[in-house]
A = this chain, B = another copy of it.
Amino acid sequence: MNDISPPRKRRNAGRVTLNDVARQVGVSALTVSRFFNHPERVSQALRQRIGEAVSALGYVPNLMAGSLASARSRIVGMVIPNISGPIFADTIQAFSDTLARHGHQLLLASSYFSLEQEENAVRTFLGWSPAALVVTSHFHSESTEKILAEAEIPVVETWDYQPGRAPIQVGFLHYDVGVMAARHLLDKGYRRIAFVLNSAVGDFSALERRAGYGDTLQAAGLESWSFAPSAECVPFEAGKQAMESLMKEARPPDAIIFANDNLAAGGLLTARRMGLRVPDDCAVMGFGDYAFSGMLLPALSTIRPPARLIGEIAALRVLESLSVIPSTTPLQRLNRLECELVEREST
């Protein structure tokens, strides 16, 4: 009697595997593996035949298995405050494209400026044994810092530049942006310059920009002051609120620096509705150079961050760290990029 119950395959029975290809060609699975990872170590003849078998069978390498075995993946995790805002999308796009060009994939999560959400994302990503991790700014929770330090993979911080930290930095000094904005307005002759903070809580970078503004005004012997909109507001409304409130003061400002272009747009349109002339009655300055900024009336003066460049360079640094591409000698841990002053009609 044939009592040997057939060794039932338990799970993923359908999938074409490395072994199937190997059997088809008549070589060992290992050779097929090499065909993908080190083609130069496989003889020309075999390469040809394996290539044919692969496409004939429609074999797709199981990256899970490969990553498990080699303890490294071609996934790079990125945590960024948001995707749909006008400012980070370019960074994500450039980052993703550069990564893809070199066979790596982007795992994406947004933090909404929340340190806690960032930590969650980092923790989850780590479960995927990512090849590298990219975060935004140098503001993290203590646990996140610890996790990143112990991760033993390349870590890149974007949209910021902070010498003295372990991770690779790709960005700029927000403090300098504040200085740049203040200097521009001082040069133009404005003297009562206010700063409007972001309504999004957790945007610590905006605080650094304000610090740059504050110090510059102080150095010029001028008074600095800032307005903090209600936290519930969407940025556009917050800008409106700021403009109305500031212009009602006993001694209103003759220029306002907004933490970003959304706020500035709200302020700009509100000023016009209030019958104020911009920039004659009050100059307006933003940050970000969003798509609409040049189309406003008057066109908004602002500071343009190198959003795409940040994404691209961050990706290159990651790939260099992984030795996927040759390192630009030496691997610079600090990549200071420049923001550009875009002077238009509102100042």
What is the interface of chain A, defined by CB distance below 8 A to chain B? 11-12, 14, 60-65, 67-68, 70-71, 73, 75, 82-86, 89-90, 92-93, 96-97, 100, 105-110, 121, 123-129, 152, 265, 269, 290-292, 295-297
Scoring A107, A108, A129 by chain B CB atoms within 10 A of each residue's CB, the highest score goes to: A108
Residue from A97, A126, A295 having most chain B Cβ neighbours under 10 A: A295
Query: How distant is the Cα of A64 from the Cα of B92 in the complex, in angstroms?
Result: 24
Say whether B110 contacts A107, CB under 8 Å.
no
A269: chain B residues at CB < 8 Å are 295
| Contact, CB under 8 Å: B93 / A84 | yes
Closest B residue by C-beta to A143 = B58
B-side contacts of A295, CB under 8 Å: 265, 269, 292, 295-296
Chain B residues lying within 8 Å of A86, measured Cβ to Cβ, are 86, 291
**Residues in chain B near residue A291, CB distance under 8 A:** 86, 290-292
Kindly list chain B residues whose C-beta atoms are within 8 Å of the C-beta of A85.
Answer: 89
Assess whether A108 is in contact with B96, with CB atoms less than 8 Å apart: yes
CA distance A109 to B107 in the complex (A): 9
Smallest CB separation, A11 vs chain B (Å): 5
Contact of A60 among B62, B82, B126, B292 (CB under 8 A): B126
Residue on B nearest A296 in the bound complex, by CB? B295
Residues of B within 8 A of A108 (CB): 92, 96, 106-108
Complex Cα distance A290/B291, Å? Answer: 9
Q: A106 touching B105 by the CB < 8 A rule? A: no
Residues of the B chain whose Cβ atoms lie less than 8 Å from the Cβ of A65: 68
How far apart sit A290 and B295, CA to CA, in the bound complex (Å)? Answer: 13
Residues of B close to A12: CB separation below 8 A? 71
What is the interface of chain A mostly: helix, strand, loop, or mixed? mixed
Residues of B within 8 A of A296 (CB): 295
Known pairs A61-B127, A290-B292, A295-B296; list 9 more (Cβ under 8 Å): A11-B70, A60-B123, A63-B127, A83-B89, A96-B110, A106-B107, A107-B108, A108-B108, A269-B295
CA gap between A291 and B265 in the complex, in Å: 11
Chain B residue at minimal CB-CB distance from A292: B292
Known: A105-B107, A123-B60, A127-B60. A92 touches B83 (CB 8 A): yes
A70 proximity list for chain B (CB < 8 A): 11
| B67, B90, B109, B152: the one within 8 Å of A105 (CB) | B109
Residues of B within 8 A of A107 (CB): 75, 105-108
Q: Name 20 A/B residue pairs within 8 A (Cβ), A-sorted.
A: A11-B71, A12-B71, A63-B127, A64-B67, A82-B93, A83-B93, A84-B89, A84-B93, A85-B89, A86-B86, A86-B291, A100-B121, A105-B107, A105-B125, A105-B128, A265-B295, A269-B295, A291-B291, A291-B292, A292-B292
How distant is the Cα of A72 from the Cα of B283 in the complex, in angstroms? 57
Residue of B nearest to A71 (CB): B12
User: Given A107-B107, A124-B105, A269-B295, does the pair A129, B64 have CB atoms closer than 8 Å?
Assistant: yes
Tell me, in angstroms, the Cα distance from A177 to B92 when the chains sit together: 30
CB distance from A153 to the nearest CB of B (A): 12
Which residue of chain B has its CB nearest to the CB of A92? B83
Q: How far is the CB of A267 from chain B (nearest CB, A)?
A: 12
A230 to chain B, nearest CB (A): 21
